[in-house]
Amino acid sequence: MIQSVTEREIATYNQRGYVVPDIQLSAERIEELDAAVHRLIANNPDVRPERLVSVHIDRMNDEGVRGDAAFFKLASDPLIVDAVSQVMGPDVVLWGCQVFCKPASDGMEVPMHQDGHYWPIDPLESCTAWVAIDDSTIENGCLRLVPGSHKARRSFQHGLSEREGLVLNQYVDDPEVDLS
């Protein structure tokens, strides 16, 4: 096993529920993934770029998305698997692989949600290995997290939204969760 996550980073993960490990994919690998994202979008012209799910399946999947082998290669990369194993333990499984591609002019909003709310996993012991292909900033709609929310080990109350332009129609609506 590669020691891709330090003891301090593991402690941070356990405390906050997330960590930004001091590991990086190579520039060449990021270029490969960028090309794979463009292929994925081109191969799925009838699917919104924010709804590209199960992209690790290199055929037409049950959600109507034609995946790309590059994403299974990413999900099974020893650097990723070892980092996940170090924070979650050695018994890991790939549950899914999704591309949240938000086009600049008409990207859909992803409301604050809890991934586990959508997954039938019990006990709720999961993690997301998030890999940014482009720079992620507040201005372009970066990922937001609620530190420590994992400690409850349960799905928080979610509300249902009727708003148009949302990737997900449910959002965290629980008085125990501080979204500020």
Model confidence over 142-171: pLDDT tens digits?
A: 888 889 888 888 888 899 999 998 888 888
Dihedral angle computed from the Cα positions of residues 163, 167, 173 and 176, in that order, rounded to the nearest 10 degrees: -160
What whole-number distance in Å separates Cα of residue 101 and Cα of residue 42?
13
| Closest to 148 measured CA to CA, from 20, 19, 17 | 17
- Measured between its terminal Cα atoms, the distance across the chain in Å is 38
Write the DSSP string, 31-47: HHHHHHHHHHHHH-TTS
Residues constituting the chain: 180
**Percent of the chain's residues with pLDDT above 70:** 98
The lowest-confidence range among 30-34, 36-40, 131-135 is 131-135
Structure tokens at 160: 């249902």
